[in-house]
């Protein structure tokens, strides 16, 4: 499959180019609130959004409100909450009430200086990026919460994230966007466990691109976020070339 992506891209009538945010078009930073688009990322997304043969999207675990503030690029489709929050789309299900679990997590996190609990509409995230010595303890605590509450535990770069087991995934979101935007091919760039939901999707019209090292089902690979931005920057010219 990896060998066929360029011919397929040239032949495609319309292509969805979708990407994760953190670790893909933004560097991983100790404080998630300090994350910003890498230089050139906004211009690359804008160029793809304007291209007659492309549609551009960012699909992330961040909340939609947070994503809008960090990625204010006209024409780009924004999806937050691992696929459960989309601008202009009605929610298919009601977000869970995290109040009790968040209070429990915050009490426990007080024993781990440098850790942080973040409540988003569709996930409860424990950050230990600034306190890596507590990685095992935080992950074990999150795993225990997941088992007790019947939640899905999703590991990430310096995080342990809990999501409802019946919630939409990034894979669901990317495939839905491909259909809704009338694209016959999709490229998706991502760097962490939740992006594997896209890479594992059984869809012949989807090519996954893993950004950074790690086990993956994606057939394609880029070494780091800077390389991802270079790839996105080059795509509009590639799509403007001859088809077939």
Choosing from 20, 191, 195, 197, the catalytic residue is 20
Question: Could you tell me which of 182, 188, 238 has the C-alpha nearest to residue 51?
Answer: 238
Beta strands in 42-184 (DSSP E): 54-59, 77-80, 85-86, 116-120, 123-127, 152-156, 159-163
Give the Cα separation of 67 and 220 in Å (integer).
26
DSSP character for 95? P
Return d(Cα 159, Cα 155) in angstroms, integer.
6
Do residues 78 and 71 make contact, with C-beta atoms less than 8 angstroms apart?
yes
Question: Is 20 a known active-site residue?
Answer: yes
Structural contact between residues 128 and 154, judged by C-beta atoms closer than 8 angstroms: no
The residue among 120, 54, 119 whose CA lies nearest residue 85 is 120
Strand order of the β-sheet with 54-59 is 85-86, 77-80, 54-59, 15-19, 185-190, 206-211, 220-222
Measured in degrees and rounded to the nearest 5, phi and psi for residue 54 equal -140, 160
Could you give the residue numbers annotated as active site? Answer: 20
């Amino acid at each position: 499959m990896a060998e066929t992506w360029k011919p397929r891209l040239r032949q495609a009538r319309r292509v969805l180019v979708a990407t994760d945010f953190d670790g893909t078009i933004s560097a991983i930073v100790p404080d998630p609130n300090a994350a910003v688009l890498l230089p050139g990322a906004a211009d690359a997304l804008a160029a793809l959004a304007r291209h007659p043969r492309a549609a551009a999207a960012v699909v992330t675990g961040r909340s939609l409100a947070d994503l809008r503030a960090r990625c204010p690029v006209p024409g780009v489709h924004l999806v937050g909450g691992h696929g459960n929050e989309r601008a202009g789309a009605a929610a298919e299900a009601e977000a869970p009430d995290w109040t009790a679990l968040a209070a429990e997590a915050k009490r426990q996190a007080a024993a781990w200086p440098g850790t942080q609990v973040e409540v988003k509409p569709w996930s409860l995230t424990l950050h230990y990026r600034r306190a890596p010595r507590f990685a095992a303890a935080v992950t074990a605590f999150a795993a225990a919460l997941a088992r007790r509450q019947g939640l899905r535990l999703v590991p990430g770069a310096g995080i342990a994230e809990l999501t409802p087991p019946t919630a939409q995934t990034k894979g669901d979101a990317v495939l839905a966007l491909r259909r809704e935007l009338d694209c016959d091919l999709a490229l998706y760039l991502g760097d962490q466990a939740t992006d594997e939901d896209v890479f594992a999707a059984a869809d012949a019209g989807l090519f996954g691109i893993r950004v950074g090292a790690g086990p993956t089902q994606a057939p394609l690979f880029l070494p780091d976020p800077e390389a991802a931005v270079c790839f996105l920057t080059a795509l509009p010219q590639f799509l403007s070339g001859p088809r077939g």
